[in-house]
């Protein structure tokens, strides 16, 4: 009886229907076993790797080569060890940028190798509004790799995140977001201050608070006091001027289609946060309440203050109410008062954040598109677009032109 061999068959050709089916028919007729299959198509070119077990390999290889000659399929063969490659713990590295150059990719690959990791698979997640890739990495120390990735990203216009692969990463069920400078582009209190004629004073206090230079709660109370006497008409004008962050509607719409629970929590104000929640279909909303008497702001807040601790408590309360483990929660924020919330979640993301926040968390997104966070979660852009195209009520927004984006 002939000795059984393990052979790696590498197939390269222009992609078209029936290639895999034809190869499987040859292997079936020759009595081969299949141990592993991987296939990818890039710009219409197919690469297919088959790990097979055969007895009397010459006959099988002859039949495959003849089939390839008849069908313009290039094949290479390599006899490999029969012992399976041992399973290693894997991590997922996500690379995001308006553009990703060879130098950027090389820096990320070097960081992974420097931490003892090996890249096993690379797939593109998006090419609009940003370019993003997902790299499956085996082995290495995730903390060493993360530290090297942070260094690599700091010198380039890219964002890089690493997460342990597994069910928990793929089973996110709750997303909790800050509002000002996260879900929306504005700081609402600064817009109110403009209406009150105290914008410069309030903006200075806001800057100091968000930079971690003064106590946030004290700063908020001082800023609110400067709004005393503002009328209802001014608040309506502010509400009408609020601008959602680019990609915010796509982000929320996609989360809802996936069945995720969504929540916003803000040191801003219920008048505006609750309206946003209703407009976007967000499930939970918590924020501060401005005291109003006879149609004018009193310069005070009512109820319990929403500060850093209350944000984290709110996240935990929503997770508990929805029976969702904290490991399956994503939190997104930009300021120091978001740090406790980001730390409480399984995945805390600093979105266009202040330096003190970027330095304190593992995952940073600095591109100005909120829906880029979907790529951190492993969601492909084409799946988002397919879902939009299948929705009869969806009206596509005007396409955002991103300078430097490579052609499709």
Active site residues: 178, 180
| Whole-number Å distance between alpha carbons of 339 and 354 | 11
Tell me the DSSP string of 243-271: -BPTTHHHHHHHHHHTT-EEEEEEEEEHH
CB 85 within 8 A of CB 55: no
Tokens of 208: 């100091």
Token pair, residue 174, equals 């709750």
- CA 379 to mean position of chain CA atoms: 8
Cα-to-chain-centroid distance, residue 200: 35
- Residues whose CB falls within 8 Å of the CB of residue 36, separated by 6 or more in sequence, listed in order: 49, 50, 51
Q: Determine which helix (DSSP H) or strand (DSSP E) holds 294, and give its type and residue range.
A: none
φ, ψ dihedrals at 213, nearest 5°: -90, -10
Residue 292, φ and ψ in degrees, nearest 5 = -125, 130
Cα–Cα distance for residue pair 274/290, rounded to 1 Å: 13
Our measurement of the distance from residue 186's CA atom to the centroid of its chain's CA atoms, rounded to an integer in Å, reads: 22
- Contacts of residue 69, defined as CB under 8 A and 6 or more positions apart, other chains included, come to none
Q: In what order do the strands lie in the sheet with 174-177?
A: 296-302, 284-293, 261-269, 174-177, 329-333, 347-351, 363-365
Phi, psi of 270 (to 5 degrees): -55, -35
- Return the half-sphere exposure (C-beta side, CA atoms, 13 A cut-off) of residue 85: 9
Contact yes or no for 341/265 (Cβ under 8 A): yes
Q: Name the residue among 382, 327, 365 with its Cα closest to residue 164.
A: 327
Tokens of 172: 């996110």
By DSSP bridging, strand 261-269 and strand 284-293 are parallel
The Cβ-side half-sphere exposure at 119, using a 13 Å CA radius, reads: 18
- Whole-Å CA distances, 344 to 309, 370, 407: 10, 21, 40
Give the separation between CA 273 and CA 267, rounded to whole angstroms: 10
């Amino acid at each position: 009886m002939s000795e059984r061999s393990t052979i790696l068959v590498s197939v390269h050709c222009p992609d078209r229907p029936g290639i895999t089916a034809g190869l499987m028919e040859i292997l079936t007729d020759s009595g081969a076993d299949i141990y592993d299959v991987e296939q990818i198509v890039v710009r219409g070119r197919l690469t297919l790797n088959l790990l097979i077990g055969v007895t009397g390999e010459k006959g099988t290889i002859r039949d495959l080569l003849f089939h390839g000659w008849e069908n313009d399929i290039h094949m290479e063969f390599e006899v490999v060890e029969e012992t399976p490659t041992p399973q290693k713990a894997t991590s997922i590295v996500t690379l995001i940028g308006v553009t990703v150059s060879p130098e950027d990719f090389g820096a990320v690959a070097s960081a992974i190798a420097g931490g003892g990791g090996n890249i096993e698979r690379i797939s593109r997640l998006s090419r609009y509004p940003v370019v993003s890739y997902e790299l499956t990495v085996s082995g290495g120390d995730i903390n060493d790799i993360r530290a090297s990735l942070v260094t690599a990203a700091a010198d380039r216009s890219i964002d890089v995140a690493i997460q342990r692969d597994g069910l928990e990463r793929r089973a996110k069920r709750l997303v909790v977001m800050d509002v000002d400078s996260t879900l929306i582009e504005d700081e609402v209190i600064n817009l109110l201050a403009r209406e009150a004629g105290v914008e410069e004073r309030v903006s200075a206090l806001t800057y100091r608070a968000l930079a971690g230079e003064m106590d946030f709660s004290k700063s908020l109370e001082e800023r609110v006091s400067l709004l005393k006497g503002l009328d209802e008409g001014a608040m309506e004008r502010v509400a009408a001027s609020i601008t959602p962050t680019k990609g915010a509607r796509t982000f929320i719409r996609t989360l809802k289609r996936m069945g995720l629970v969504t929540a916003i929590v803000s040191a801003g104000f219920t008048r505006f946060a609750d309206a946003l929640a209703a407009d976007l279909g967000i499930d939970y909303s918590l924020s501060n309440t401005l005291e109003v008497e006879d149609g004018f702001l009193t310069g005070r807040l009512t109820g319990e203050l929403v500060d850093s601790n209350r944000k984290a408590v709110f996240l935990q309360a929503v997770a508990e109410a929805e029976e969702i483990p904290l490991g399956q929660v994503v939190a997104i924020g930009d300021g120091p008062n978001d740090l406790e919330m980001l730390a409480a979640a399984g995945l805390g993301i600093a979105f266009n954040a202040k330096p003190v926040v970027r330095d304190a968390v593992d995952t940073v997104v600095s591109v100005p598109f909120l829906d880029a966070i979907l790529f951190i979660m492993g969601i492909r852009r084409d799946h988002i677009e397919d879902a939009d195209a299948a929705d009869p009520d969806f009206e596509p927004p005007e396409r955002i032109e991103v300078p430097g984006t490579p052609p499709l």
